[in-house]
Amino acid sequence: MQILKTREELAAWRETVSGTLGLVMTMGALHEGHLELVRAAQDFADTVLVTVFVNPTQFAPGEDFETYPRDLESDAEKLRQEGVDALFAPTPEVMYPEGEAQVRFDPGPAAKILEGKTRPTHFAGVLLVVGKMFHLTRPDIACFGRKDAQQLAIVTQMVKDLDFSVQIVPVEICREEDGLAMSSRNRYLSTAQRETALELSRSLQWGVENAEEYGSQALASAVHERLAAVPGIEVDYVALVDSEGYVPITQAGYHGKATLALAAKVGNTRLIDNVDLWM
């Protein structure tokens, strides 16, 4: 596996690639969920490039950019074991050589709700780095996890609206045996907090099991109430949204596929999770 650090190294490597290229973008601290993205890319493409870059533009002041876990050596070894062809691991100075970017993407109305309401600059920063990586790497396919479902919806919309010549491949959520959605931030949790965090996936499953009883108008509120009653959990939101456009479902009697999504803090660690269901 080649490790690329500069734009010049990346461009030279890209010229050697024949066939289709699959891209997996990460911020490192790789876990099994990231490796599932890699395996999906290998199923779709002849060559796979993984990026490891903790992107400063998607962190707001006071968020965990400085403390976000970083272990490039360990990440590289995991990727070697998966047979990844190349790893692009730039610094912020490589990705943003002029300093703060003056031109940004408008991520649209879907970025103003849920995650976007809590983190109002987040998705503009995500689309900036995704757009730059797409231009620099010129992939044929790019794999994104369904755990970041709102991000997946917004990136997919950007590709459609701005005519990026890349196919977005969604990959299912990877969970621990006890149901906790895999996340690089899980390592922040103490043993007791990790046990408390299991209530996120349990509440989502409870929502699936009780969707018919509560219906589209009351389900999210019922799950919110259940989760908020758990000591040690501070609920940010619970929402029932359209699985494609990520618009909240508010009409009574909705029938069709939907996504039940939530975000909550366990201690100081903010976690997200979601599950698809049929109403």
Q: What is the pLDDT of residues 38-78, one digit of tens each?
A: 999 999 999 999 999 998 888 877 788 887 888 999 999 99
For the sheet containing 257-266, what is the strand order? 233-242, 257-266, 269-278
Sign of the dihedral through C-alpha 104, 105, 108, 113: negative
Annotation-wise, does 117 bind a ligand? no
Q: Which fold has domain 189-278?
A: Pantoate--beta-alanine Ligase; Chain: A,domain 2 (3.30.1300)
Q: Reply yes or no on whether the pLDDT at 119 is more than 80.
A: yes
Residue ranges covered by each domain of the chain: 2-171, 189-278
- 266 within 8 A of 121, measured Cβ to Cβ: no
2-171 and 189-278, same CATH topology? no
> Is the model's pLDDT at 170 over the cut of 90?
yes
34 classed as catalytic: yes
pLDDT, tens digit, for every residue of 204-250?
999 999 999 999 999 999 999 999 999 999 999 999 999 888 889 98
204 labeled part of a ligand binding site? no
Among 5-19, 90-104, 247-261, which range has the highest average pLDDT?
5-19
Residue 183 labeled ligand binder: yes
Positive or negative, the Cα torsion across 214, 218, 219, 223?
Answer: negative
Secondary structure percentages of the chain, helix, strand, coil, to 5: 45, 20, 35
Which residue in 34, 122, 135, 224 is the catalytic one? 34
> How many other C-beta atoms can be found within 10 angstroms of the C-beta atom of residue 58?
21
Which DSSP string corresponds to 214-242? Answer: HHHHHHHHHHHHHHHTSTTEEEEEEEEEE
Bigger pLDDT: 98 vs 223: 223
Task: Check residue 6 and give its pLDDT.
Answer: 98
Question: Is 185 annotated to bind ligand?
Answer: yes
Q: Is there a binding annotation on residue 182?
A: yes
Terminal alpha carbon distance of the chain: 46
Taking the C-alpha atoms of residue 14 and residue 33, their distance in angstroms, rounded to an integer, is 26
Find out whether 136 is annotated in a ligand binding site.
no
Q: Is 147 annotated as a binding residue?
A: yes
Backbone angles phi, psi at 194, to 5 degrees: -65, -40
**Does the annotation place 243 within a ligand binding site?**
no
CATH architecture of 2-171: 3-Layer(aba) Sandwich (3.40)
Joined together, the tokens standing for residue 71 give 């272990």
